[in-house]
Amino acid sequence: MSFWNQLKSKTQEMNSSLKTKAGQFKNKEFAAGSMAMCALIAAADGSIDPQERQKTAALIMSNDVLSIFPPAELQQKFDFYCSKLASDYDFGKVEAIATIGKLKSKADQARAVIQIGIIIGGADGNFDEHERRAVKEACFAVNINPAEFDL
């Protein structure tokens, strides 16, 4: 099976798994961590172009797991982290990773945020090295071994 087919299959499995657990994730920390992860993926190459930002926002709105939150709330959080990353990438990255790190004591939610990052990163068919690195850093922030996700 090609890498892309494996990634696509694994992404579908993750999404199904997350759907079954979605109700227990309805809290502000999970919403913030998810949007921080999405912004990190959008800015993984060091910048966020408007097209990439719009595409990521559309993926967020179509994600079943994230549909438990009001779209306006997700948009606000996503825009907040994107703005931080766009104005000062390094500082924004520290803040986004710190937000994800707040889920360290909630292993299921932390894993779900990592999975959302992988789903968003792989949605265009190219889970590139920058995106993989961003997800790895998020894994370290919540004390999850990146190898658990084949990273």
pLDDT tens digits along 35-66: 999 999 999 988 888 888 888 888 888 877 78
Question: Residue 20 pLDDT more than 90?
Answer: no
> What range defines the domain where residue 120 resides?
3-149
pLDDT tens digits along 61-94: 887 778 888 989 999 999 999 999 999 999 999 9
Helix axes 129-141, 28-42, angle to 10 degrees: 150
What CATH number has the domain bearing residue 35?
1.10.3680
Give this prediction's pTM: 0.82
In total, how many domains does the chain have? 1
